[in-house]
Amino acid sequence: MANITFRGTPIHTSGTLPAVGAKCPDFKLTAADLSDKSLASFAGKKKIISIVPSLDTGVCQTSARKFNAEVGKLSDIVLINISADLPFAQKRFCDSEKLEHIVNLSTMRAPAFGSDFGVRIEDGPIAGLLSRAVLVLDANNIVVHAQQVPEIGQEPDYAAALAAASKA
């Protein structure tokens, strides 16, 4: 269980992120077209997985914009943004912001994702949402970088994630 904060107040997650060096667990999440996507959908590609509470919040929106801009400069990395938002809301935000380098995936049909990845918030006012975290996977789905952001209102370490993805 990760001990993180929400506006300075301690909250807890359902577990811990997959460890660096471990094979990333698979998932089946919902894409904008309501199709199912898994890690196999991105086979052979390096992946930055940005897990966020909701694209309806300022920090999550900022994170999406910054990762989109940086990944857009690279040719061999897929940016996967995962939240509990409905696929329609995810798509509406990215379309309105012209974010073209993000693959949004929703946990709407896969509530176990949060527990499987250790990011389900267990208590506090946003219990049930996902914590802010970043995983970077190599082309074989081995975790090469993992960051559980300690404060929900804090942005992730973009430079560390992008550096890990470039080296993977």
Homologous superfamily (CATH) for 25-167? Glutaredoxin (3.40.30.10)
pLDDT confidence of residue 24: 97
Q: What is the largest CA-CA distance in the chain?
A: 40
**102 residue type, one letter:** I
pTM of the predicted structure, to 2 decimals:
0.96
What single-letter DSSP state applies at residue 144? E
pLDDT confidence of residue 99: 97
Query: Taking the domains of the chain in order of start, what are their residue ranges?
Result: 25-167
**Average pLDDT per 10 consecutive residues for the chain, totaling 168 residues:** 92 96 98 97 97 96 97 92 97 96 97 96 96 98 98 97 93
pLDDT confidence of residue 122: 96
d(CA 152, CA 13): 11
Q: Are 139 and 44 in contact (CB under 8 A)?
A: yes
Q: What DSSP letter does each residue of 46-75 carry, written as one string?
A: EEEEEE-S-TTSHHHHHHHHHHHHHHTT-S
Token pair 């994630």: residue? 161
pLDDT confidence of residue 75: 82
What is the set of active-site residues?
60
> What residues contact residue 22 under an 8 Å CB cut-off, 6+ apart?
142, 143
Bridge-based pairing state of the strands 36-37 and 46-51: unpaired
pLDDT confidence of residue 92: 96
What single-letter DSSP state applies at residue 122? -
